[in-house]
Structure 1
Amino acid sequence: MAAVGVSMLLVGIAVTVNLGASVENKKTLQGVADAAALQAEKTVRAAQASSSTAMSQADIASMAQQTVENYVKANTPASSTAPDISVTYTSLSTYSGNVSVTLSKKTSSFMSGFLRSAGTAVSVTSTATMTLGNSYIQIIFLVDISNSMGIGGTPADISALENSSAQCAFACHDPNGYRGSCVKGSSSSWNSWLPPCNTRVTAKNAGINLKIDYVNQAVQDFMAQLIDYSNIDQNHITASITTYGTTIQQIQAPTTDLNAVNSVASTIDLENAVALPVLGYTRTGDALNSIASQLTNVGQGESENSQRTYVIFISDGAQDIYSNANGYQHIVTVAYQSACTNLKQMGVTLLSVWVPYYPIYGSQQYDTVIAPLPTTGPGSMQGAMQACATSSDYYFEADDGPTIKSALASSLSSIITSSGLRLIK
């Protein structure tokens, strides 16, 4: 009887130990499944954002599967048996969906010789999603529409403008011919050899995209994807657009009507040059301060009164303001970083999209006003734009038109990841 009692005691101990081990194994496996699902969802989203065309469901599912397998393998100890893996991707819309991960394995039992079971089966499931329906956010576009955004959007566009009748390789923004002799639309043919006055129309008629055209398209693409992501409840998302150059104008007040914002985005264009000697300024610091003065309800996204707030700042990094230090009545600086710091201290996530300033070699004005600035690092336009961003994850460089569109897509991906990536079960 004593032997039987000891045996029963040992069995009881084994069952207790195995139960505890099973709970701990399930907890560990759940942690791996959660992390794998989040990683797969993030990877899929990044791929969709960077793809020029919509990815097929098969490609998305395959990418999710591979990401999960790689993650699980990397996080399974060499001494342990890898779990069985099942991955499914459920599309919610063109750019959003859920990744579900199920991990299953049988754990070895303590004192298995005393027990009928050779091990304990453990199975866990985790589902990650990227949607914005449950997080209150506000997105504010601050777009530079000053003269320098009027260059060709690609090297080919720049070359085409240099060799066209417009003769406006730089700043094709002047509909009035302030820069010199030109031909009005109604002029007689005797002076037809002169460049046309409305250089902006010339570029459009020639099918040449300027830097600002790509910004226009990129903001529209951003809004279209945002609308797609927010299909569950657009009332949680507010967006607005402010443009700046010589003047600062909120062309779209904050609204939850994202389709209206997208429509207004299609109207983003260069501001017209003003009369000589000014032609135009770029009031970057004033524009950033204007955004700060209008901000309300900045928070963590849990309610209308506490919204995650993102400012998408698109500029070549120049602040061009009045000065009597030279005959051009301009001075270019990067003295707007304190305005960026102020926004960040208010709880804003600042995404900085730097579209580099086009150098005009051989131009006396360029040599006098702009060339003295360093090209990189502290005191440079690049350095200032990078310093303005909340972190390196929110800083993007866009040398030409296509990369401007890519940068805006990456901006949306960053916003979705920070505010919309979550586990739902």
Structure 2
Amino acid sequence: MVRIKHLREALRSFSGERSGNVIILFAFAILPMVGFAGALIDYSRAANVRLQLNAAADAAALAAVSQNAMLKSLADAKTDAEKIFDADASEYKSTVQNRTVTLENIGLGRSVKVTYTATVPVNVMNLVGIQTVAVTGNASASGARAPFIDFYLMLDNSPSMGVAATTAEITRMEEATKSVRQCAFACHDLSNPNNFYKKAKEIGVQMRIDVVRKATQELTDTAKTTATLPQQYRMATYTLGASCKGKKLTEIQSLTTSMETAKASASAIDLMTIPYDGYNSDQCTDFDKAMTDINGIIPNPGDGSSKTSPQKVIFFVSDGVADFANSGGCSKKLSGTRCQEPIDTQFCNSIKSRGVKIAVLYTTYLPLPSDSWYNTWIKPFQAQIPKNMEACASPGLFFEVGINQGISEAMTALFQRVVTKAYLSN
């Protein structure tokens, strides 16, 4: 009985002891807590690796569409992008299982996608049979390549472009001609050896055509410095004709990649001559025919992605007033068969419908309020002249330059606008 009593007391004493139960319960609880903390450490390391590899992928993608890369072939750009990824991911080279750089050119656009897969070794998670954590990522980017463009300069050299270039020059010209006929225009009348064109040259008055000539030469310099590819731009130059007699679109320079050649030939740009004062009732500005003729000269445009597929742009500089025989389709009142009107935009539309762009530099038509001819025939539609010139231009490629503003600066600004639009629209 004594032994049984002692056994009962021992059991009662053990069952009443609480500290052993706590230790056992804590032992069971801490195992998953330690495992969870270890997993967090392993996953945090994997997340850091993914962050670094994502940065490497971003750098590779952006490099593939950088300005320098866009000048390279797809194969070379791909190789460079792979090298950049590998260099930036060198610390984690052993974890990267695969990386792929995919590039594609569509027209002037280039897209790139960089993808990778990696496996990051773990430590604590080994205890539950997990050896690695998989990490994947990708990066994409796109850019535009520099376009190849053929520029066709169509320069209005009709008698109205013989006006003095600034208000100060107009005053000088009027003062120099007041003994004969006070005039702001330097008409190139071949029948008169003392014509106003000669007078302007003698006294050093700059005419608009002089400024256009100089601006054209400076434009070739701009094209040369803007180009990022060999033979990226070609340029041809035309005027409305050397003479009002038998006037026709006249080639000053055929299409050339040499901006030096284009600059030198531009020295031949000059005011249209007239056989004598009042020849052909001064009908010397036929935009309809000029637009039709240049449309026939320009081949179908390409997308600008190569030398053999250049975009086509007409660079049209004019004061915007037609003056020609057109008894059947003039939009304004006639003087006999003489039609004086703003440019007819349907001829511009025929060109643009082929994908040829038209950049228009409108040299503001000079109002002459003291001139009865101007007041009768031009003033009624003066406000419509710039509207039609803008409608002739392709969207965003219109620029107006006033009587005292710089034509050269305007031509340069319009050229840059053409090039920028070529990038953005492709």
| Short-chain TM bin | 0.5 to 0.7
TM-score, L = length of structure 2: 0.64
The one-letter amino acid paired with 1:307 is P
| Equivalent in 211, 215, 218 of residue 215 of structure 2 | 218
Structure 2 vs 1, CA of residues 23 and 340 (structure 1 numbering), >3 Å: closer, same or farther? farther
Shift of 1:149: 0.6
| Equivalent in 280, 284, 287 of residue 284 of structure 1 | 287
Instruction: List per-residue Cα deviations over 1:71-117 (Å, max 9, x = no partner).
Output: xxxxxxxxxxxxxxxxxxxxxxxxxxxxxxxxxxxxxxxxxxxxxxx
Asked if the contact 2:223–2:233 (Cα under 8 Å) also holds between the matched residues in 1, the reply is no
Asked if the contact 1:240–1:253 (Cα under 8 Å) also holds between the matched residues in 2, the reply is yes
Query: Where does structure 2 lack aligned partners over 5 or more consecutive residues?
Result: 1-30, 68-140, 328-332
User: CA–CA distance in 1 between the matches of 2:186 and 2:300?
Assistant: 39
Structure 2 vs 1, CA of residues 297 and 230 (structure 1 numbering), >3 Å: closer, same or farther? same
The one-letter amino acid paired with 1:242 is Y
Asked if the contact 2:171–2:184 (Cα under 8 Å) also holds between the matched residues in 1, the reply is no
Structure 2 vs 1, CA of residues 401 and 211 (structure 1 numbering), >3 Å: closer, same or farther? farther
Instruction: List per-residue Cα deviations over 1:139-195 (Å, max 9, x = no partner).
Output: 1101000111111101100110010137563331223357xxxxx4xxxxxxxxxxx
Structure 2 vs 1, CA of residues 323 and 284 (structure 1 numbering), >3 Å: closer, same or farther? closer
Shift of 1:400: 2.6
Instruction: List per-residue Cα deviations over 1:212-249 (Å, max 9, x = no partner).
Output: 11111111111012123337523x32210111164221
Q: Give secondary structure in 2 for the equivalent of 1:264.
A: helix
| Equivalent in 235, 238, 241 of residue 237 of structure 2 | 241
Q: Give secondary structure in 2 for the equivalent of 1:149.
A: helix
Shift of 1:31: 9.8
Say whether 1:349 aligns with 2:357.
yes
Shift of 1:16: 3.6
Asked if the contact 2:252–2:268 (Cα under 8 Å) also holds between the matched residues in 1, the reply is no
Query: Where does structure 1 lack aligned partners over 5 or more consecutive residues?
Result: 39-125, 179-183, 185-196
Asked if the contact 1:137–1:237 (Cα under 8 Å) also holds between the matched residues in 2, the reply is yes
User: CA–CA distance in 2 between the matches of 1:16 and 1:342?
Assistant: 62
Instruction: List per-residue Cα deviations over 1:12-34 (Å, max 9, x = no partner).
Output: 22234444455667788999999
Structure 2 vs 1, CA of residues 6 and 301 (structure 1 numbering), >3 Å: closer, same or farther? same
Report 1:158-169 matches (<5 A): 158-165=170-177, 167=181, 169=183
User: CA–CA distance in 2 between the matches of 1:297 and 1:241?
Assistant: 18
Structure 2 vs 1, CA of residues 177 and 157 (structure 1 numbering), >3 Å: closer, same or farther? farther
Instruction: List per-residue Cα deviations over 1:251-306 (Å, max 9, x = no partner).
Output: 21112222111111122111012433423421112111211111115111122331
The one-letter amino acid paired with 1:353 is L
Structure 2 vs 1, CA of residues 226 and 14 (structure 1 numbering), >3 Å: closer, same or farther? same
Asked if the contact 2:343–2:389 (Cα under 8 Å) also holds between the matched residues in 1, the reply is no
Say whether 1:270 aligns with 2:271.
yes
Asked if the contact 1:147–1:280 (Cα under 8 Å) also holds between the matched residues in 2, the reply is no
Shift of 1:389: 1.5
Report 1:291-370 matches (<5 A): 291-322=294-325, 329-370=337-378
Q: Which has the higher contact order (CA 8 A, sep 6+)?
A: 1
User: CA–CA distance in 1 between the matches of 2:419 and 2:255?
Assistant: 19
Asked if the contact 2:359–2:418 (Cα under 8 Å) also holds between the matched residues in 1, the reply is no
State the number of aligned residues: 308
Aligned partner of 1:395 in structure 2 is 398
Aligned partner of 1:207 in structure 2 is 204
User: CA–CA distance in 2 between the matches of 1:222 and 1:341?
Assistant: 26
User: CA–CA distance in 2 between the matches of 1:34 and 1:315?
Assistant: 43
Shift of 1:10: 0.9
The one-letter amino acid paired with 2:237 is I
Structure 2 vs 1, CA of residues 168 and 282 (structure 1 numbering), >3 Å: closer, same or farther? farther
Say whether 1:385 aligns with 2:399.
no
User: CA–CA distance in 2 between the matches of 1:277 and 1:406?
Assistant: 35
TM-score, L = length of structure 1: 0.64
Structure 2 vs 1, CA of residues 177 and 413 (structure 1 numbering), >3 Å: closer, same or farther? same
User: CA–CA distance in 2 between the matches of 1:335 and 1:405?
Assistant: 23
Aligned partner of 1:155 in structure 2 is 167
User: CA–CA distance in 2 between the matches of 1:327 and 1:265?
Assistant: 35
Say whether 1:407 aligns with 2:419.
no
Shift of 1:328: 6.7
Aligned partner of 2:185 in structure 1 is 171
